[in-house]
C-alpha cells in the first residue's frame, strides 16, 4: 500500500500531502514515510481506512507512523491484532505495554491558507508566553481526553482499562504538538509545565507553576504528574521533532539544518578536551569553510560541565537517528508504573519527578537532540 496514491478527491487531500506529491524535492520522503508504516498498513481491514485518514488529516496519522518506526527501532514487537489502544508493545523481557497516540492540532490545519506566509507571519507575532499557554492548553486537553477513554466511568461500553490486553499493564500516552506552524520551537517547555509544573524562563531560571488561566477565565491545573490526579497514565512520550522534518532528514533531502543538541561532560573529560583546544567554557562560535557553523555553550553545573551545541549546517553533514528527540516522562503516582528498562536507548531523554524534594529530574544523554528545523530551497 502507498500512502501517497490518492484515495480521496483532490479537494479532500490535506495541503501537506498535496505539497509532498507536487514538489519533486519532497519525493524522496514518500519512500521513507511509507517504510514507517510496516505493520500498520497491513492491519486487517485497517489499511485503506488509515490511508484515507492520513491523506485528509495528516498530523495524527503521521505521528502514528513515526511512532511505529520508533517502537520497531527500540526493539519492540508490536501486536497489530489489537485495534485499541493504538500500539500493544511487547518488550524482549516479555513485558507488555499499551500506547495511545494523539496530537494537538490547529482547527485550521486542513486549509491551504493556514500554510501561507501571511499565516506564518501572524503566528510569529504571538508573544512567547501566550504561545506556550496556548500550546499547554491544547496538549493537556488531549491528555485529559485520552484519560477519559481509559477510565471506567460507566459511560463507555469498552473503556481501555477493561480490555483484557490492557488490564494490569502500563498505559502510555504518546503526544506531539501540531497546533502551530511553530510548534517545534516549544521544545519541552510546555510539556514540563503540564506534567511536572516546572517552567524554564527565557533567562534560564526555573520556576514552579501550578496553573494557568485561559482567555475565558478558566483555571487549568498544571503538574498533573506531581499528584495522583492522572494515576491511570503510567508515562507520557513526547517529541517536537517527530514531524515532517524527520522524514526530510532520513530521506536525505538537500536542505539546511538548524539543530540544538545537549552536551554533558565530567570535569575530567572536559579538561582533556580543553587542554587539546577543542572545548572552552562560555559561548564560542566555530565557522567552517563550507559555511557550516556550530555555536557552543558550556558552563559548570554540579559535577559536570554542561551546555549545548547549536548547528547551522548542510544536511549532507548532519546526522540523527529516528528516535533522536523522543522524551519519556514517568508518572511517580502511576497505579501501574512503567519500568525504566522498558524503553532503553542512548538517544532517548528520560524525565521523572522527585516526590520527596518536589523537583523534576532530567536524565539526558550527551548529544541528545533538543530541537531541529529544516529549510528546503526549491
In this prediction, residue 93 carries a pLDDT of 96
What is the number of alpha carbons within 13 Å of residue 121 lying toward its C-beta? 3
Question: Which pLDDT band, with edges at 50, 70 and 90, does 375 fall under?
Answer: very high
In this prediction, residue 377 carries a pLDDT of 64
In this prediction, residue 234 carries a pLDDT of 99
Nearest CA to 10 out of 58, 61, 57, 56 is that of: 56
Average pLDDT, the chain: 93
Average pLDDT value for residue range 358-375: 94
In this prediction, residue 142 carries a pLDDT of 96
Q: Please state whether the peptide bond connecting residue 278 to the residue before it is cis, i.e. omega within 30 degrees of 0.
A: no
pLDDT in tens, 1-13: 799 999 999 999 9
Question: By the 8 A CB rule, do 12 and 55 touch?
Answer: yes
With a cut of 70, say whether residue 378 has pLDDT above it: no
First to last CA, the chain: 29
C-alpha cell at 315: 544536511
Secondary structure E strands in 86-205: 87-90, 96-105, 171-178, 198-200
C-alpha cell at 257: 539544518
pLDDT in tens, 262-287: 999 999 999 999 998 889 999 999 99
Question: Which pLDDT band, with edges at 50, 70 and 90, does 44 fall under?
Answer: low
In this prediction, residue 54 carries a pLDDT of 96
pLDDT in tens, 193-215: 999 999 987 666 788 999 998 88
pLDDT in tens, 108-118: 888 888 888 88
In this prediction, residue 347 carries a pLDDT of 93
Reported pTM: 0.94
Residues 232 and 148: their CA atoms lie apart, in Å, by 10
In this prediction, residue 291 carries a pLDDT of 87
Domain boundaries, the chain: 10-247
pLDDT in tens, 146-199: 999 999 777 677 899 999 999 999 999 999 999 988 888 888 999 999 999 999
- 212 CB contacts (<8 Å, ≥6 apart)? 133, 136, 137, 193, 219, 220, 222
With a cut of 80, say whether residue 28 has pLDDT above it: yes
Amino acid at each position: 500500500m502507498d500512502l501517497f496514491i490518492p484515495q480521496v478527491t483532490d479537494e479532500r487531500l490535506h495541503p501537506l500531502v498535496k505539497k509532498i506529491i507536487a514538489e519533486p524535492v519532497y519525493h524522496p520522503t514518500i519512500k521513507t514515510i511509507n517504510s514507517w508504516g510496516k505493520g500498520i498498513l497491513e492491519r486487517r481491514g485497517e489499511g485503506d481506512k488509515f490511508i484515507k485518514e492520513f491523506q485528509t488529516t495528516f498530523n495524527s496519522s503521521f505521528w502514528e507512523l513515526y511512532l511505529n518506526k520508533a517502537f520497531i527501532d527500540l526493539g519492540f514487537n508490536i501486536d497489530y491484532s489489537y485495534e485499541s489502544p493504538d500500539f500493544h508493545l511487547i518488550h524482549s523481557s516479555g513485558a507488555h505495554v499499551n500506547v495511545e497516540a494523539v496530537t494537538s492540532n490547529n482547527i485550521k490545519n486542513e486549509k491551504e491558507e493556514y500554510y501561507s506566509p501571511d499565516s506564518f507571519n501572524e503566528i510569529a507575532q504571538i508573544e512567547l508566553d501566550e504561545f506556550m499557554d496556548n500550546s499547554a492548553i491544547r496538549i493537556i486537553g488531549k491528555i485529559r481526553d485520552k484519560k477519559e477513554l481509559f477510565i471506567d466511568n460507566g459511560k463507555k461500553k469498552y473503556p481501555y482499562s477493561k480490555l483484557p490486553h490492557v488490564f494490569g499493564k502500563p498505559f502510555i500516552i504518546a503526544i506531539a504538538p501540531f497546533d502551530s506552524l511553530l510548534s517545534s520551537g516549544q521544545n519541552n517547555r510546555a510539556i514540563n509545565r503540564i506534567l511536572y509544573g516546572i517552567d524554564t524562563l527565557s533567562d534560564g531560571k526555573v520556576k514552579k507553576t501550578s496553573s494557568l488561566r485561559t482567555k475565558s477565565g478558566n483555571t487549568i491545573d498544571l503538574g498533573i504528574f506531581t499528584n495522583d490526579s492522572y494515576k491511570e497514565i503510567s508515562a507520557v512520550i513526547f517529541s517536537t521533532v517527530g514531524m515532517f522534518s524527520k522524514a526530510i532528514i532520513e530521506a536525505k533531502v538537500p536542505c539546511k539544518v538548524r539543530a540544538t543538541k545537549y552536551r554533558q561532560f565530567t570535569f575530567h573529560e572536559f579538561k582533556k578536551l580543553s587542554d587539546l583546544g577543542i572545548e572552552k567554557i562560555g559561548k564560542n562560535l566555530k565557522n567552517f569553510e563550507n559555511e557550516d557553523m556550530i555555536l557552543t555553550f558550556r558552563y559548570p553545573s554540579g559535577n559536570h560541565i554542561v551546555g549545548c551545541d547549536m548547528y547551522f549546517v548542510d544536511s549532507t553533514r548532519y546526522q540523527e537517528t529516528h528516535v533522536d528527540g523522543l522524551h519519556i516522562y514517568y508518572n511517580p503516582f502511576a497505579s501501574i508504573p512503567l519500568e525504566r528498562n522498558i524503553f532503553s536507548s542512548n538517544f532517548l531523554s528520560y524525565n521523572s519527578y522527585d516526590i520527596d524534594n518536589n523537583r523534576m529530574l532530567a536524565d539526558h544523554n550527551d548529544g541528545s537532540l533538543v530541537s531541529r528545523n529544516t529549510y528546503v530551497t526549491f
